[in-house]
């Protein structure tokens, strides 16, 4: 990590009330920077235990499923800054269930949170990002790299976001706006408690039975990616690396492995 990179930066974090976003806020609060912490429960975000005296945190309530709430949040944010160095496009929900059982409402809510909301917010912040030749760092998932069984709504919403962020990266190259996608593996957060089941009810599932990353580890990587001018599609560990390459090299084998490994997620 470049020691002084975060000093005096203006940073926006979505999903700052929990998990990876909260860990980002805690890490960033060690620097003399301005952080805008966005979430529905923004007012519940406590001040980090140890915080640099010159770090200024502004909490802004926003519901990414609600376009008018996003407009209100943009008005507040843009009244306080006209430049944004880094936008951590991090908020998101998961949705669990088979393709043939998932209700359309689940698709709509998942896409509203993981795709339409972030797109509207990013469009609204582009002026500030252009002003400082800033970076958008998206917290994505290994499940965006292939349609994962039992996760059709989640996988598709995140891979749609990939495509939009890649288009943006190419188009805004001359203006210096960067965009990186970080495919995070299983991490110990509340994602399985805040996501949706097939009918759109809140999931409330236990943690995945896998080796879990900590939110702090993921936040550290996201901050490193924000500093890397060449970062595009970043995978965190072997699971992401494997998905990324196997989809092109041997999709039949990848599907066989996903079928076996995730069988209980769709039966």
Ligand X SMILES: NC(=O)c1ccc[n+]([C@@H]2O[C@H](COP(=O)([O-])OP(=O)(O)OC[C@H]3O[C@@H](n4cnc5c(N)ncnc54)[C@H](OP(=O)(O)O)[C@@H]3O)[C@@H](O)[C@H]2O)c1
Residues that bind ligand X (CB under 6 A): 15-21, 39-41, 62-65, 90-93, 113, 139, 141, 184, 186-187, 189-191, 194
Nearer to ligand X, 53 or 147 (CB): 147
Q: Smallest gap, in angstroms, from Cβ of residue 4 to ligand X? A: 27
Q: Smallest gap, in angstroms, from Cβ of residue 213 to ligand X? A: 8
Q: Smallest gap, in angstroms, from Cβ of residue 18 to ligand X? A: 3
Q: Smallest gap, in angstroms, from Cβ of residue 40 to ligand X? A: 3
Nearer to ligand X, 48 or 176 (CB): 48
Give the active site residues: 154
Nearer to ligand X, 188 or 255 (CB): 188
Hey, what are 265's tokens?
Answer: 């997620």
Strand-pair partners of 224:
none
């Amino acid at each position: 990590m470049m020691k002084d990179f975060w000093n005096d930066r203006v940073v926006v974090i979505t999903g700052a009330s929990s998990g990876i976003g909260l860990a980002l806020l805690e890490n960033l609060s060690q620097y003399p920077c301005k952080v805008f912490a966005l979430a529905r429960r923004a007012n519940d975000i406590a001040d980090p235990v140890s915080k640099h005296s010159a770090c200024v945190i502004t909490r802004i309530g926003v519901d990414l499923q609600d376009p008018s709430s996003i407009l209100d949040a943009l008005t507040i944010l843009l009244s306080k800054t006209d430049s944004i160095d880094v936008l951590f496009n991090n908020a998101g929900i998961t949705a669990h269930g088979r393709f043939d059982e998932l209700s359309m409402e689940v698709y709509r809510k998942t896409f509203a949170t993981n795709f339409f909301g972030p797109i509207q917010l990013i469009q609204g912040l582009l002026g500030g990002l252009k002003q400082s030749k800033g970076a958008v760092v998206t917290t994505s998932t290994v499940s965006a790299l292939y349609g994962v069984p039992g996760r059709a709504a989640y996988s598709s919403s995140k891979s749609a976001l990939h495509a939009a962020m890649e288009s943006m990266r190419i188009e805004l190259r001359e203006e210096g706006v960067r965009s990186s996608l970080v495919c995070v593996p299983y991490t110990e957060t509340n994602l399985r408690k805040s996501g949706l089941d097939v009918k759109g009810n809140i999931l409330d599932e236990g943690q995945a039975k896998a080796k879990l990353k900590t939110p702090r580890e993921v936040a550290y990587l996201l901050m490193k990616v924000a500093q890397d001018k060449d970062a595009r599609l970043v995978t965190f560990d072997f699971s992401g690396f494997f998905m990324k390459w196997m989809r092109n090299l041997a999709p039949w084998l990848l599907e066989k492995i996903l079928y076996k490994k995730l069988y209980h997620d769709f039966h």
